[in-house]
A = this chain, B = another copy of it.
């Protein structure tokens, strides 16, 4: 699995507290619905404190994108690291990705929705993060093809389709108040997606 293109900063303890607070607030109220004061309060520090750790609200948001992507990525990476078979790796990776997002409503909202809320200036960065995950899928598909596990397919397109489908599924799950169990519809999703590479999962 390719090493992430995300800036892998080592976050200090205090940074993390702020980032966690900001993550929650941004996810819940959006970028513009969250004030620096709100974040300071939630992080048990002061406005000045925030500005000591991050040069601006925008930079904090950008850092948060990296932070959140790092969280997600490392979870997936750890789960997949010692799986050898690329198809199994894909299965496992997607599963952990979905499971992680599903169990962190906050992460989900930030990653899927509110990331766009900061305005056009920040959207490119969120796309980068999305591309990172599309790339992860693509890499495994290509490995699977190289190893003859699946027939050659348009990996660039398939990875986009898979990510798009996953994204849309999660989005709906988020907006319907998470009433329906995500697990079950996820299983069905995977089975359908498998058809796009002429494979029967499970």
Contact = CB atoms under 8 A, between A and B. Distances in A.
Interface in A134-191: 154, 157-158, 160-161, 163-169, 171-172, 175, 185, 188-189
Contact of A117 (B116, B168, B198): B116
A48 interface: no
Interface stretch (A15-23, A29-37, A74-82): A29-37
A160 B169 contact: yes
A193 interface: yes
Nearest to A175: B127
Contacts of A71: none
A187 B10 CA distance: 44
A122 to B, nearest CB: 9
A195 interface: yes
Contact of A119 (B117, B169, B171, B198): B117
A196 interface: yes
A123 to B, nearest CB: 6
A154 B190 CA distance: 13
B158 A192 contact: yes
Contacts of A198: 195
Interface of A: 28-30, 32-33, 113-114, 116-120, 123-124, 127, 154, 157-158, 160-161, 163-169, 171-172, 175, 185, 188-189, 192-193, 195-196, 198
28 contacts: A28-B120, A29-B119, A30-B119, A32-B32, A33-B119, A113-B116, A113-B123, A114-B116, A116-B116, A116-B117, A117-B117, A117-B119, A117-B120, A123-B175, A154-B188, A157-B185, A160-B168, A160-B169, A160-B172, A161-B165, A161-B169, A161-B189, A161-B193, A163-B168, A164-B168, A193-B196, A195-B198, A196-B196
